[in-house]
């Protein structure tokens, strides 16, 4: 089984479910706070691999939900700058095993990579926040 560095948003129900599935599969977790980690653009970029910029974003982030930030309209540099300014924009969890890094929790992809317990196949979307209607959208300050 793998030792996984798991970057989460503390208190996120989906991250809790994701960690549970990984633990049930026998993996060891080193849990870190995604929001308090001091990222560099290069470190953060390594988690996204060949995915398009639009897939780097947390779709439940207030700025994305409000339409103020449109991931499909951003280039790589701008996306990273925005994510470094506001880590809530980062798709989570971020996972690292050895030198390999991934963003998000696609159960099929993770199972092919490190293995998941059979129950993971029966779990619905593990990335979509079920409480987004309860999450207020704070006012965004211009940083330009």
Q: Do residues 70 and 17 lie in contact, with contact meaning Cβ atoms separated by under 8 Å?
A: no
Q: Do residues 47 and 94 lie in contact, with contact meaning Cβ atoms separated by under 8 Å?
A: yes
Q: Active-site residue among 4, 7, 9, 12?
A: 12
Active site residue 129: no
Q: How many residues would you count in the chain?
A: 144
Q: Do residues 101 and 46 lie in contact, with contact meaning Cβ atoms separated by under 8 Å?
A: yes
Residues labelled catalytic: 12
């Amino acid at each position: 089984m793998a030792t996984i560095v798991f970057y989460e948003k503390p208190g996120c129900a989906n991250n809790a479910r994701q960690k549970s599935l990984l633990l049930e599969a026998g993996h060891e977790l080193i849990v870190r706070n995604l929001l308090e980690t001091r990222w560099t653009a290069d470190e953060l970029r390594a988690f996204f691999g060949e995915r398009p910029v639009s897939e780097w974003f947390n779709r439940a982030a207030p700025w994305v939900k409000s339409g103020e930030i449109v991931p499909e309209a951003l280039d790589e540099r701008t996306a990273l700058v925005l994510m470094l300014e506001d880590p809530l924009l980062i798709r989570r969890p971020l996972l690292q095993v050895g030198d390999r890094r991934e963003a998000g929790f696609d159960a099929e992809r993770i199972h092919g990579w490190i293995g998941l317990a059979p129950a993971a196949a029966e779990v619905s979307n593990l990335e979509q926040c079920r409480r987004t209607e309860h999450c207020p959208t704070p006012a965004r300050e211009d940083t330009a």
